[in-house]
Structure formats: C-alpha cells, structure tokens
Structure 1
Amino acid sequence: MRDEWTAFEVIRPDGAGPVVLVCEHASARIPSELRDLGLSEASRHSHAAWDIGARDVALAMSAALDAPLVAGTISRLVYDCNRPETAPDAIPALSERHTVPGNEGLDAGARRDRCVRVHDPFHAALDALLDGRTDRPALVTVHSFTPVFHGRRREVQLGFLSHSDDRFARVALAEAGTRHRASLNAPYGPGDGVTYTLARHGEARGLPTLMIEIRNDLIDRPETAAQMGSHLATVLCRALAALDEAAA
C-alpha cells in the first residue's frame, strides 16, 4: 500500500522517447491527517485542487511518445510542486474563490514540513530520471486551466509557455495549426511564477523546455483527454523535428 504522503508516481520510467513529461497537478488527493484541509467536497474536487484532465492527457502523450512521466499524487493545495518553497502560493490559503482553512496561519516549521514531504521527493524523482538519461530530452510539463477565471471567459484553448528560452514554445505553437485557439504564454506566462519546473530541471540542464496549458472543458472526459494527448504528441514530434532542422 502506498504511503499517504507519497508525492509522485513515475510512469513508463524506461521510456526512451525524446521527451520527458511532467504533470505536477495530476491529483486532488489530500492525506487524511490534514482533514481535507477544511474544504467542502465541491472545493476538494474543483480545479483549485488539481488540473482537471491533465493527467489523462499526459498519459496519452506518454504512450504515444514512449516518454517517461513524473506525475504528482498529492493535491496542489497541500503543496504546489510547480512552486519553490519561497513562493507564498506554494501553500495557498486562497485559490481564486476557494478559501483553504487548513493552510491559514501556517508557521515556518509547518510550511517546511509540507515542502519536505511533497516538493522535495517529487523534484528528487525528476532529477533522478533526468540524471539517468544519456541523451538530451525535451522537458514538457502538462497543465490545464479553467474556462472562466474571476468571472471572465477565457477564449484561448491552448497555451504554449516558456521560461526564458521560447524557441520550443514558438515552434510548437506554429506546428499546432488552427485546430484550437492557441497562443504563446497564455493564459499565464513566466511573469506569473508558473515556470519553476521548466527553469529548475530543463533550462538548468540546457534542455528544450515547454509548458502546455489546456482549457479543461476540452479534456474533462477520458476520451477527449486521450484525443488531445494524441494531437499534442504529434505537435511535439513535429516541433522537435523543426528544432533539429533549424540547429543543423
């Protein structure tokens, strides 16, 4: 039986494809000792707790690309693995309209404990996976976002995000075509503090990096998530080929 504080799973660890996938917000699970963080059932299953559909998309991409996938297994409301320990929203007391009572008033020791139990093992697993590669795979993180945020409708359907090196993101956007309303660095960008994993594990190693954001009404069923995963796997293959051609 997996310990309740196990923070990650590695799927297809021996995958030899040209991409390593990450899904930090793949789970809404909250360890029982935290008593649901004081959240209502609706909040525990909302997008505030996890990226709806992202894990299913990442699984489909992993299968299509023979790509290893490191996925989070604890809710981002416990600790957001796409944030450093110093980020105030690593353990949010408020996520959009959802108040998180179990995160209010945490002292430095309690915050440090959450980091040690969730953030550290997750990122150690990703480090170990990347350190074990003898090639230079692209690092791609998979996320989803809500159709409406703070009362405003988001028209963009796909976002291709970068940290400081946007070459992979720009090529992926071009290869995505017109099937979806896609944009560069939308609905978030590096200025929003969302590219921590890309910077820490990808750019630090000189790897091509990309964060994919998908509007969650497009992937909230297993079949639509699988279709999106297949489409994005094709986009990544074409984008990587274009990058290789440009570098030749």
Structure 2
Amino acid sequence: MSALLTVEDGAPVALENAEAGSRIVLVCEHASRRLPQRLGTLGLSPEALESHIAWDPGALAVCRILMQALDATLIYQRFSRLVYDCNRPPDSPSAMPARSEIFDIPGNAGLSAAERLARTEAIYSPFRKGLSELIKTRVANHRPPVIVTLHSFTPIWHGQPRDVEVGILHDSDSRLADAFLKDAARDEDFVTRRNEPYGPQDGVTHTLIEHGLHNGLLNVMIEIRNDLIASKDGQRVLAGYIGDHLGKALADLEP
C-alpha cells in the first residue's frame, strides 16, 4: 500500500461492470465520505463529515442504477474529496482544500509539499491511471468510450438557495451536452440548465478535459441537486430521467 493508505483502507479506486456492453463510462469522483485511518477525522465533526463538503450524497447510488439500466461501466473514488478531490489537478488549491463553504478543515491546513505529494500518489494517481487505462483499452478495441461524470450539489450554498435541479456541464466540447439539453427541453419534470450551478470557470471540468477532450471523446458532467436524490425513490426517478435523455442524446449523435 501507499504511505497514506493501510491494508485495512483498501484500494482508492473501484471499478464495476468492467465488461459492460455499452460505450458509456460513468465516473463518480466524489462517491464516498470515507477517510484513511492515518488521517483520523481531519479535525472535523461528524456533522461536517456527513455533509456535502465530504462527498456528493446520492451520486454513487444514482450511478449504480444507471450502470444497470444502461449496461455501463462505473469507476469511482473510494475516499472523501477532502483527502483529495479527484476532479482537480494536483496544483489546484481545491484539490486538498483548507476550507469548504462554512467549514475550516484543520487536517488540510498548512500541508507540506511532501504531504500533498503523498495524497496525490495515494489517491489521485491511481484514479487517473485507472480511468486512463480503461479508456486506452476501449479505444484499442475500437470501442471509444463516452465519458459521463456524475455529481450532486447542495440546494443552499453560502446561504443562497439554488433553483436549478439538474446541471448539464461541459467544457469546450459541448456535443453531448447540447444533445442532452435539446432532448430535455421537451421535458418539464426538472429544471435543467447548462453549466449550472457550476461551469468551466469554476475549475470543475478537470476530468472532462483530462480524459474526454484530450482523447477526442464525447463527454459531459451531470450535477443533480442532492435533496432530489436523498431517498431511494428519488434516486430511481433521477436515474430514469438522466438515463432516458442520455440515451436519446447518444442516439442523436450516432453517425
């Protein structure tokens, strides 16, 4: 194991349904709120560690429903975004944030270069390598994947309510986002918008750039307001909504 993770911690990245029939690869960078044993609680309360600053509540559950419905492959990070946010490059301050919304994170304050490197090598590098190798294998087998990253966001941010319910995010390649939004415009079930509540200007498209744009692959990032997927019923409904429009969008883009 790495200098950070113990045998009891297990691997930092998980892969499910590796031999999926569809081209879709679901990516969930913020799937878990687990912390490595050696980091304790990062100085945070149980309340903070259960909140959205530590993970994306409901995101992994929705991914797993989509994985089954679409026969997709799923890759996800098994540790909290507070240890290392795998949707950020190593040189980004938000990769290991010292503060998130209203919470100071004592265990992330004043990290040395060696401590940052240890986290990068233990968490980010295996995740990046795992996704890169999956993509290379698919491309070599003439099955170029479609990269779909899935996240959830809090309905209130710094005291301000958010009325958007589903965000369809993209960087410079908007092909899949455009097709999704075109189809979703016919559906009034959820307030769905482009590049909300975040966009490329917020530094949230790292995975799309690194693994989608750089490989010329179709890609999109989907954000779901987490109050909508707090229950199993909500997770099923939103997975159905996402899966339906994603499937139609991909069908529209087929040559």
The two structures have a TM-score, normalised by structure 2, of 0.93
1:6 offset after TM fit, Å?
Answer: 2.0
Aligned residue among 85, 94, 109 for 1:104: 109
Q: Deviations over 1:172-194 (max 9, x none)?
A: 11222221001000000011100
1:163 equivalent to 2:171? Answer yes
Give the corresponding residue for 1:63: 68
Name the amino acid aligned to 2:181: L
Contact 1:5 1:117 in 2 (8 A): no
Name the amino acid aligned to 1:130: I
1:22 equivalent to 2:27? Answer yes
| Percent identical residues | 43
1:5 offset after TM fit, Å?
Answer: 5.3
1:3 offset after TM fit, Å?
Answer: 4.1
Find the aligned partners of 2:196 and 2:36 in 1 and give their Cα distance.
32
1:38 aligned counterpart, secondary structure? coil
Tell me, which stretches of 5 or more residues in structure 2 are unaligned? Answer: 1-5
1:18 offset after TM fit, Å?
Answer: 2.3
Name the amino acid aligned to 1:141: T
Aligned residue among 140, 146, 153 for 2:148: 140
Runs (4+) of structure 1 moved beyond 3 Å? none
1:137 offset after TM fit, Å?
Answer: 2.0
What does 1:190-201 correspond to in 2, within 5 Å?
A: 190-201=200-211
Give the corresponding residue for 1:242: 252
Give the corresponding residue for 2:3: none
Q: Deviations over 1:32-58 (max 9, x none)?
A: 110110100000110000001000011
Find the aligned partners of 1:40 and 1:78 in 2 and give their Cα distance.
15
Find the aligned partners of 1:230 and 1:2 in 2 and give their Cα distance.
37
Change in CA separation of 1:167 and 1:14 when aligned onto 2, cut-off 3 Å: same
Name the amino acid aligned to 2:111: L
Find the aligned partners of 1:243 and 1:178 in 2 and give their Cα distance.
23
Find the aligned partners of 2:162 and 2:182 in 1 and give their Cα distance.
21
Contact 1:59 1:229 in 2 (8 A): no
How many pairs does the alignment contain? 245
- Of stretches 122-131 and 68-77 in structure 1, the one that deviates more from structure 2 is 122-131
Find the aligned partners of 1:3 and 1:229 in 2 and give their Cα distance.
32
1:85 equivalent to 2:90? Answer yes
1:218 offset after TM fit, Å?
Answer: 0.3
1:239 offset after TM fit, Å?
Answer: 0.3
Tell me, which stretches of 5 or more residues in structure 1 are unaligned? Answer: none
1:42 aligned counterpart, secondary structure? helix
Aligned residue among 206, 211, 220 for 1:210: 220
1:37 aligned counterpart, secondary structure? coil
1:212 aligned counterpart, secondary structure? strand
The two structures have a TM-score, normalised by structure 1, of 0.96
Contact 1:5 1:31 in 2 (8 A): no
Q: Deviations over 1:59-108 (max 9, x none)?
A: 11111111100011000000000000000010001000111100001011
